[in-house]
Amino acid sequence: MQRLGIIRRRVIYWIGSDVTRLTPQSRFVAGCSNIAGSSWLAEEVRDHGYACAERLFPVELPISDVLPLPESETLQVLCYVPDAHHDLHGSPEIRVLVEKFPGVEFTVIGGDGTWWPDSPGNIRFLGWVDDPVGCLAGAHVVLRRTAHDSLSAFVREGLVAGRHVIFTYKVPGVIHVERGDITALLSRMDELNTRFAEQRLVQTSVDPKIRGWLSDTDAQLEALSRDYD
């Protein structure tokens, strides 16, 4: 189809764990324009020997401003963990947190929790949620412990909503904790829980330029359209 002129350009958009299946010296991949949804994924593609640009995937966020923190007696933590490949989404680390902080309430969206059938009472699973705004409004902390991911909509929503976002990658506005660093993860959660108990936990705020970068789908689409042109 490309030889016939039906396809003018092949583009691969790398978004997450697909990068783990990438091998060096692929003539097909080398013949494509490679784009990744984050700087760290782009670097992984480059490490395999391919040129790769970074382009944020256009996602229209359901919120545009900071939400008030919920009034509750306990710290509320929101997680995204689908049942399939739950370990890649941080389920082992979440189990540690849930067990170490019985006084903190955890809510998981994206899955029914089949990976933890005997889970304790301080975690609940809501399954797939079409409108995450209500869940974000009920959370103080957004927790994303993925092994391989771009800058996901879940993290972007948490930042724009003014939540304390704990993420495995360095992004402006997040609390960065490397995947697998349980000691640091427990410490950050303990700090947030202490601040909550002392009524010192307030909303976060991101730089207006960062907010625009996360929210401006027109600019995101325009950047991608140039790559596909």
* Structure tokens, 196: 């909550």
* Structure tokens, 177: 């904790």
* Structure tokens, 39: 């700087």
Tens of pLDDT along 156-193?
999 999 999 999 999 999 999 999 999 999 999 999 99
Q: How many CA atoms lie within 13 A of 157 on its CB side?
A: 23
The reported pLDDT for the residue numbered 18 is 85
Q: How far apart are CA 66 and CA 193, in angstroms?
A: 21
Tens of pLDDT along 12-62?
999 888 888 899 999 889 989 999 999 999 999 999 999 999 999 888 898
* Structure tokens, 136: 């974000």
Domain extents in the chain: 11-55, 76-197
CATH architecture, domain 76-197? 3-Layer(aba) Sandwich (3.40)
CB atoms within 10 A of CB 35: 22
Q: How many CA atoms lie within 13 A of 214 on its CB side?
A: 26
Taking the model in full, what pTM does it have? 0.90
Q: Is the sign of the CA dihedral 91, 65, 60, 56 positive or negative?
A: negative
Q: How far apart are CA 66 and CA 74, in angstroms?
A: 21
